[in-house]
Chains A and B, each alone.
Chain A
Amino acid sequence: MPRESILHQVRTALGRSVGQPAAPAPPPSLKTPDADAEARLESFCRELEALGGKAWRAASPEEAGAVVERLVAGRLAVASNAPFLCECGITSLPSVRAGFTDPAALREACAAAQVGITSADWALADTGTLVMLSGPEEARLISLLPPVHVAVLPAQRMLSGLDELFTLLPRPAEQTSSMVLITGPSRTADIEQILVRGVHGPGEIHVILV
Chain B
Amino acid sequence: MSGTYQDQIRATLGDPRLQAAIYAASGRLMDHRRAAVAPEVLPDFQELRLQAHLIKQHTLDNLDYYLEQFEQQLLARGGHLVWARDAKDVAEFVLDLARRKQARLMVKSKSMTTEEIELLSRLEPQGLEIVETDLGEYIIQLAGERPYHIVAPALHKTREDVGELFSRRLGVERVSDPEKLTKIARAALRDKFLAADIGMSGANFLVADSGAVVLVENEGNARMSTSAPRIHVAVAGIEKMIPRAQDLAVFLKLLGRSATGQPLTVYTSFLSGPRRAGEIDGPEEFYVVLLDNGRSRLLADREKRQSLYCIRCGACLSHCPVYRKIGGHSYPWVYSGAIGAVITPQYQGLTEFPWLPFASSLCGACGEVCPVRIELPKLLLDLRSEVQKALSRQSVNRLERLAFRLWAWVMCHPRIYEMLGSVAAAAMPGEEAKDWPRRLPAWLMRGPLGAWFSQRDLPPWPERSFRQAWRARVRDRSH
* Contact indicator per residue, chain A 64-105, by CB within 8 Å of chain B (1) or not (0): 000000000000000001000000000000000000111100
Chain A residues near B245 (CB-CB < 8 A): 166, 169-173
Given A20-B65, A162-B249, A188-B218, is A193 in contact with B267 using a C-beta cutoff of 8 Å? no
Do A201 and B135 touch (CB < 8 A)?
A: no
CA distance A177 to B61 in the complex (A): 29
Do A199 and B282 touch (CB < 8 A)?
A: no
Do B77 and A173 touch (CB < 8 A)?
A: yes
Whether, in the assembled complex, B250 has its beta carbon less than 8 Å from a beta carbon of chain A, the answer is yes
Q: In the complex, given contacts A173-B272, A199-B219, what are 5 additional A-B residue pairs having Cβ atoms less than 8 angstroms apart?
A: A13-B296, A16-B62, A107-B281, A186-B220, A200-B224
Whether, in the assembled complex, B273 has its beta carbon less than 8 Å from a beta carbon of chain A, the answer is yes
Please report the number of residue pairs spanning A and B whose Cβ atoms sit closer than 8 angstroms: 268
Whether, in the assembled complex, A119 has its beta carbon less than 8 Å from a beta carbon of chain B, the answer is no
Do A2 and B84 touch (CB < 8 A)?
A: yes
Given A11-B64, A129-B264, A170-B245, is A3 in contact with B83 using a C-beta cutoff of 8 Å? yes
Least Cβ–Cβ distance between B179 and chain A, in angstroms: 5
Choose one: A14, A22, A144; the contact of B220 (CB below 8 Å).
A144
Whether, in the assembled complex, B348 has its beta carbon less than 8 Å from a beta carbon of chain A, the answer is no
CB pairs A–B below 8 angstroms (29 shown): A2-B89, A7-B64, A9-B292, A10-B63, A14-B62, A14-B63, A16-B65, A22-B65, A23-B58, A25-B55, A28-B244, A28-B250, A29-B47, A124-B264, A140-B227, A141-B228, A162-B249, A162-B264, A166-B245, A166-B249, A172-B270, A177-B274, A178-B227, A181-B267, A188-B218, A190-B154, A191-B157, A192-B159, A201-B266
Chain B residues near A172 (CB-CB < 8 A): 210, 212, 245, 270, 272
Do A188 and B269 touch (CB < 8 A)?
A: no
Give the contact stretch, choosing among B66-74, B330-338, B398-406.
Answer: B66-74
Least Cβ–Cβ distance between A181 and chain B, in angstroms: 4
Do A2 and B193 touch (CB < 8 A)?
A: no
CA distance A7 to B83 in the complex (A): 10
CA distance A135 to B280 in the complex (A): 7
CA distance A126 to B89 in the complex (A): 43
Do A141 and B290 touch (CB < 8 A)?
A: no
Do B279 and A6 touch (CB < 8 A)?
A: no
Residues of A bordering B, CB below 8 Å = 1-3, 5-7, 9-14, 16, 20-23, 25-26, 28-31, 47, 51, 81, 100-103, 106-107, 111, 124, 126-127, 129, 134-136, 139-141, 144, 162-163, 165-167, 169-173, 176-194, 196, 198-202
Whether, in the assembled complex, B186 has its beta carbon less than 8 Å from a beta carbon of chain A, the answer is yes
CA distance A113 to B33 in the complex (A): 37
Chain B residues near A9 (CB-CB < 8 A): 292, 296-297
Given A178-B271, A180-B267, A191-B135, is A10 in contact with B299 using a C-beta cutoff of 8 Å? yes
Whether, in the assembled complex, B133 has its beta carbon less than 8 Å from a beta carbon of chain A, the answer is yes
Residues of B bordering A, CB below 8 Å = 21, 24-25, 28, 44, 47, 51, 54-55, 58-59, 61-68, 73, 77, 83-85, 89, 133-136, 139, 152-155, 157-159, 162, 178-179, 181-182, 185-186, 189-190, 193-194, 207, 209-212, 218-221, 223-224, 227-228, 238, 243-250, 252-253, 260, 262-276, 278-282, 286, 290, 292, 296-297, 299-300
Least Cβ–Cβ distance between B222 and chain A, in angstroms: 9
Least Cβ–Cβ distance between A34 and chain B, in angstroms: 15
Do B55 and A26 touch (CB < 8 A)?
A: yes
Given A162-B252, A190-B139, is A140 in contact with B223 using a C-beta cutoff of 8 Å? yes
Do A136 and B279 touch (CB < 8 A)?
A: yes
CA distance A199 to B133 in the complex (A): 10
**Which chain A residue lies CB-closest to B82?**
A2
CA distance A92 to B194 in the complex (A): 28
Given A192-B158, A193-B28, is A198 in contact with B186 using a C-beta cutoff of 8 Å? yes
Chain A residues near B158 (CB-CB < 8 A): 192
Do A30 and B249 touch (CB < 8 A)?
A: yes
Do B181 and A191 touch (CB < 8 A)?
A: yes
Least Cβ–Cβ distance between B79 and chain A, in angstroms: 9
Do A139 and B280 touch (CB < 8 A)?
A: yes
Do A29 and B250 touch (CB < 8 A)?
A: yes
Most A CB atoms within 10 A — which of B193, B253, B296? B296
Do A144 and B227 touch (CB < 8 A)?
A: yes
Chain A residues near B272 (CB-CB < 8 A): 172-173, 176-178
Least Cβ–Cβ distance between A210 and chain B, in angstroms: 24
